[in-house]
Amino acid sequence: MPHPPRAVRRALAALLLALAAPAARPAPPPAAAAAPAWRTEFDEVCARTQDAMALSVEELRSLVARCDALLPALEKLAESERKVFTRRLQACRSLYQFVLDSRGQK
């Protein structure tokens, strides 16, 4: 299989580094309610990015679909929160789609 262009490799490397960096989250207050359903789903979907190359085609398709299904919930958030989480979700989805597409070219 030929190597992807240098720009694609750089973009993928930057995306992987951004996703691998732990997000600084303050500790929740002790009396805080459980995380909203969208946040739990977001955390579960984006937690698999480091293992994307090891996932099966079916798992990758499922994760892409879950990313797409999560977008409407993010659109209801306040502007700054919506921008942050939508961008992070799009990065996760793009990585899964890239791996899925690269598997199709083999």
Domains identified in the chain, total number: 1
Say whether pTM exceeds 0.85: no
For 99, the domain range is: 36-106
Q: What is the mean pLDDT for each group of 10 consecutive residues in the chain (106 residues)?
A: 69 67 58 77 95 95 97 96 97 97 82
User: pLDDT digit string (tens) for 12-41?
Assistant: 766 666 666 655 556 655 544 578 999 999
In a domain, 89, yes or no: yes
In a domain, 48, yes or no: yes
pLDDT value at residue 7: 73
In a domain, 20, yes or no: no
Name all contacts of 49-52 with Cβ < 8 Å and 24+ positions apart: 49/16, 49/19, 49/20, 49/92, 49/95, 49/96, 50/19, 50/20, 52/95, 52/96, 52/99
In a domain, 19, yes or no: no
pLDDT value at residue 42: 96
In a domain, 90, yes or no: yes
In a domain, 3, yes or no: no
In a domain, 40, yes or no: yes
pLDDT value at residue 27: 60
In a domain, 21, yes or no: no
